Structure 1
């Protein structure tokens, strides 16, 4: 892999030659670039013109720590790979281009690039691609404000723990509420018929003859004549 040609005429001539008869080694590079693009969480394109070999090595080391791979490919081959993925990178593939393929921690990779660019303005952030969407340079810089992987995991763990505590409290509260409902039903005699149906014969109600009879001369309404039956039920429960 070599640097991109700096003269547009040379790039066009090479593109025409590749279009006529793609060489196997270039086809292999296009396949490699396409695979890296499709597997990456994000791809950040930069211009590295003027950076020394030592500076590029330092930048690569920083990106490796952030979980990214920094590669240099010819623009013509990158464009071909991007076209196969329906990525329109024509505006970004101008001048020498190096790409950071980010595996997962996009925030850390973008931060590594922006921090390096602050100390070495020769590194220019062109833009990138994330989730199939093409980003401009400002969007890439905004990615640097994303929390790092450890910060995300910490917040996620805190959220999970909080959810678990809330779920446990909800379950405990549900059990407690259910107990209150059952107790209220028992106290209200909702299950009295079921208990009477399953009770032993020894717990049957006393004969009606044992219940006191209402006085014969009692001329009160029907509601009073039912009182002895209620007394019988009470005596049954007490027995």
Structure 2
């Protein structure tokens, strides 16, 4: 790759690192082509970009970004997974692949919203429910007080109507 090509890769990766919510680094040494293809497909389904870039180019690209803390982990074969929307989905896929028996994928480190994460932090993140489940739980929690309030408001007129019916029945002599 010539100098212009390297500069283009650095500029492109710099922009992607700035845009990404989460960045995961993994050592893919010894991974078969079939497993690598399977990992790429799973990550693509989770809307995660997976690339292999030279460590020196990654180090240059990460400068002046909140992902610069990853520079200590740019050693050996390094694959980078960039999540722009749902970091939990990326963590789930990568953790699952790393935990598989005879897996050669090794997670190195991650950065989530500018905060460095260890491998154990990534595995804890992977155990979280998906974004959709968390949003549904939040909406359910927010809706519960409103539903209770509506129920109370509906009960007041209903009680009043029953009281009036009881008074009417009493006056009619029933």
The TM-score normalised by the length of structure 2 is 0.78
Q: Which residue of 2 aligns with 1:103?
A: 84
CA distance in 2, matches of 1:149, 1:122: 28
Deviation string 1:187-211 (CA, Å, 9 cap, x unpaired) is xxxxxxxxxxxxxxxxxxxxxxxxx
| In structure 2, C-alpha distance between the alignment counterparts of 1:36 and 1:164, rounded to whole Å | 42
CA distance in 1, matches of 2:44, 2:146: 36
53, 70, 75: which one aligns with 1:89: 70
SS for the counterpart of 2:26 is strand
How far apart are residue 153 of structure 1 and its match? 2.5
Q: Which runs of 5+ in 2 are unaligned?
A: 158-174
Taking structure 1 as reference, are residues 167 and 73 closer, same or farther at Cα in structure 2, changes over 3 Å only? farther
The alignment partner of 2:25 has SS state of strand
Deviation of 1:34 (Å): 1.5
Task: State the shift of 1:169 in Å.
Answer: 6.3
Q: Assess, with a 3 A threshold, how the Cα gap between structure 1 residues 167 and 98 changes in structure 2: closer, same or farther.
A: farther
Q: Which has the larger radius of gyration?
A: 1
Aligned counterparts, 1:90-239, within 5 A = 90-119=71-100, 120-165=102-147, 168=150, 172=153
Shift of 1:166: 5.1
Ranked by relative contact order (alpha carbons within 8 Å, sequence separation 6 or more), the top structure is: 2
Pick which of 45-54 and 84-93 moved more. 84-93
- CA distances 1:123-171 after superposition (whole Å, capped 9, x unpaired): 000011111112121211111111112212221221232243356568x
The answer on 1:38 being equivalent to 2:23 is no
Q: Distance in 2 between matches of 1:110 and 1:164?
A: 35
Tell me the C-alpha RMSD between the 2 structures: 2.4
Unmatched 5+ stretches in structure 1: 2-21, 177-239
User: What secondary structure is seen at the aligned counterpart in 2 of 1:50?
Assistant: coil
Structure 2: distance between partners of 1:105 and 1:163 = 29
Match of 1:68 among 29, 44, 48: 48
Tell me how many residue pairs correspond in the alignment.
Answer: 154
- Kindly state the Cα deviation for residue 62 of structure 1 after the two structures are TM-superposed: 1.1
Give the 3-state SS of the residue equivalent to 1:85 in structure 2: coil
Once the 2 structures are TM-superposed, how far is the Cα of residue 40 of structure 1 from its aligned partner? 1.5
Question: Equivalent residue of 1:88, what SS?
Answer: helix
